[in-house]
A and B are shown apart, each in its own frame.
Chain A
Amino acid sequence: MFSDYSLAELSSIFLMQGFAGLILFSVFVLMALGLAIIFGQMGVINMAHGEFMILGAYVTYFTSQFFLNHLPSLFGIYFFVAMILAFLASGALGMATEWLMIRHLYKRPLDTLLATWGLSLILQQVYRSVFGPREVGVELPGWMMGSLPVTDVVEVQINGLFVMGLTIAITVAVALLMYRSSWGKQVRAVVQNRVMAGAVGINTEKVDRYTFGLGCGIAGVAGSAFTMIGSTGPTSGQLYIVDTFLVVVFGGAQSLLGTIASAFTISQAQSTLEFFLSGSMAKVLTLIGVVVILMLRPQGLFVIKVRR
Chain B
Amino acid sequence: MNANVITDAMNKDFVLAVEGLTVSFDGFKAVNDLSFYVDENEIRVIIGPNGAGKTTVLDLICGRTKATAGSIRFKDRELTRMKEHEIVRAGVGRKFQNPSIYEDLTVFENLEISYPKGRTVMGALTFRRDGPVKERVQEVAETIFLADQLDQRAEYLSHGQKQWLEIGMLLIQDPELLMLDEPVAGMSVSERKKTAELLNRIIKDRSVIVIEHDMKFVEDIAHKVTVLHQGRILSEGPMAKVQADPKVVEVYLGH
What 1/0 flags go to B44-63 for Cβ under 8 Å of A?
00000000000010010000
Q: Give the docked Cα–Cα distance between A306 and B23 (Å).
A: 11
Complex contacts, B64 vs chain A, CB 8 Å: 308
B26 adjacent to A305 (CB under 8 Å): yes
Q: Give the docked Cα–Cα distance between A308 and B181 (Å).
A: 14
Q: Which listed residue, B25, B56, B59, touches A305 by the CB 8 Å rule? A: B25
Q: Give the docked Cα–Cα distance between A307 and B56 (Å).
A: 8
What 1/0 flags go to B4-31 for Cβ under 8 Å of A?
0000000000000000000001100010
A308 adjacent to B26 (CB under 8 Å): no
Report the nearest A residue to B51, measured CB to CB.
A307
Q: Which listed residue, A304, A306, A308, touches B59 by the CB 8 Å rule? A: A308
B contact patch SS: mixed
| B65 interface contact, C-beta 8 A | yes
> Known pairs A305-B25, A306-B26. 10 more at Cβ < 8 A?
A304-B26, A305-B26, A306-B25, A307-B25, A307-B30, A307-B56, A307-B65, A308-B59, A308-B64, A308-B65
Q: Give the docked Cα–Cα distance between A307 and B27 (Å).
A: 12
Report the nearest B residue to A307, measured CB to CB.
B25
Which 5 pairs of residues, A with B, have the shortest CB-CB distance? A307-B25, A305-B25, A305-B26, A307-B30, A304-B26
Complex contacts, A304 vs chain B, CB 8 Å: 26
Q: Give the docked Cα–Cα distance between A305 and B65 (Å).
A: 11
12 contacts between A and B (CB under 8 A): A304-B26, A305-B25, A305-B26, A306-B25, A306-B26, A307-B25, A307-B30, A307-B56, A307-B65, A308-B59, A308-B64, A308-B65
Complex contacts, A307 vs chain B, CB 8 Å: 25, 30, 56, 65
Q: Which of A249-308 contact B (CB under 8 A)?
A: 304-308
Chain B: number of interface residues, binned into ranges: under 10
Q: How far is the CB of A258 from chain B (nearest CB, A)?
A: 15
Q: How far is the CB of A266 from chain B (nearest CB, A)?
A: 26
Complex contacts, B59 vs chain A, CB 8 Å: 308
Q: How far is the CB of B113 from chain A (nearest CB, A)?
A: 23
Q: Give the docked Cα–Cα distance between A245 and B183 (Å).
A: 42
Report the nearest B residue to A306, measured CB to CB.
B25
Q: Give the docked Cα–Cα distance between A306 and B24 (Å).
A: 10
Most buried by B among A304, A306, A307, A308: A307
Q: Which of B50-84 contact A (CB under 8 A)?
A: 56, 59, 64-65
Q: Give the docked Cα–Cα distance between A304 and B25 (Å).
A: 9
Q: Give the docked Cα–Cα distance between A291 and B45 (Å).
A: 45
Complex contacts, B25 vs chain A, CB 8 Å: 305-307
Q: Give the docked Cα–Cα distance between A102 and B247 (Å).
A: 52
Q: How far is the CB of B103 from chain A (nearest CB, A)?
A: 14
Q: Give the docked Cα–Cα distance between A308 and B56 (Å).
A: 8
Q: How far is the CB of A11 from chain B (nearest CB, A)?
A: 41
Q: How far is the CB of B24 from chain A (nearest CB, A)?
A: 9
Complex contacts, A308 vs chain B, CB 8 Å: 59, 64-65
Q: Give the docked Cα–Cα distance between A218 and B25 (Å).
A: 34
Most buried by B among A304, A306, A308: A308
Q: How far is the CB of A195 from chain B (nearest CB, A)?
A: 15
Report the nearest A residue to B59, measured CB to CB.
A308
Q: How far is the CB of A70 from chain B (nearest CB, A)?
A: 57
Q: Give the docked Cα–Cα distance between A185 and B204 (Å).
A: 51
Q: Give the docked Cα–Cα distance between A306 and B59 (Å).
A: 13
Q: Give the docked Cα–Cα distance between A304 and B26 (Å).
A: 7
Complex contacts, B65 vs chain A, CB 8 Å: 307-308
Q: How far is the CB of B17 from chain A (nearest CB, A)?
A: 24
Q: How far is the CB of B69 from chain A (nearest CB, A)?
A: 15
Complex contacts, B30 vs chain A, CB 8 Å: 307
Q: Give the docked Cα–Cα distance between A306 and B28 (Å).
A: 10
Most buried by A among B25, B30, B59, B64: B25
Q: Give the docked Cα–Cα distance between A48 and B36 (Å).
A: 54
Q: Give the docked Cα–Cα distance between A286 and B26 (Å).
A: 31
Q: Give the docked Cα–Cα distance between A307 and B29 (Å).
A: 10
Complex contacts, B56 vs chain A, CB 8 Å: 307
Q: How far is the CB of A299 from chain B (nearest CB, A)?
A: 13
Q: How far is the CB of B27 from chain A (nearest CB, A)?
A: 10
Report the nearest B residue to A304, measured CB to CB.
B26
Q: Give the docked Cα–Cα distance between A307 and B30 (Å).
A: 8
Report the nearest A residue to B56, measured CB to CB.
A307
Q: Give the docked Cα–Cα distance between A308 and B30 (Å).
A: 11
Q: Give the docked Cα–Cα distance between A305 and B29 (Å).
A: 12
Q: Give the docked Cα–Cα distance between A237 and B26 (Å).
A: 39
Q: How far is the CB of B231 from chain A (nearest CB, A)?
A: 11
Q: Give the docked Cα–Cα distance between A162 and B26 (Å).
A: 38
Q: Give the docked Cα–Cα distance between A260 and B53 (Å).
A: 35
Q: How far is the CB of A23 from chain B (nearest CB, A)?
A: 35
Report the nearest A residue to B26, measured CB to CB.
A305
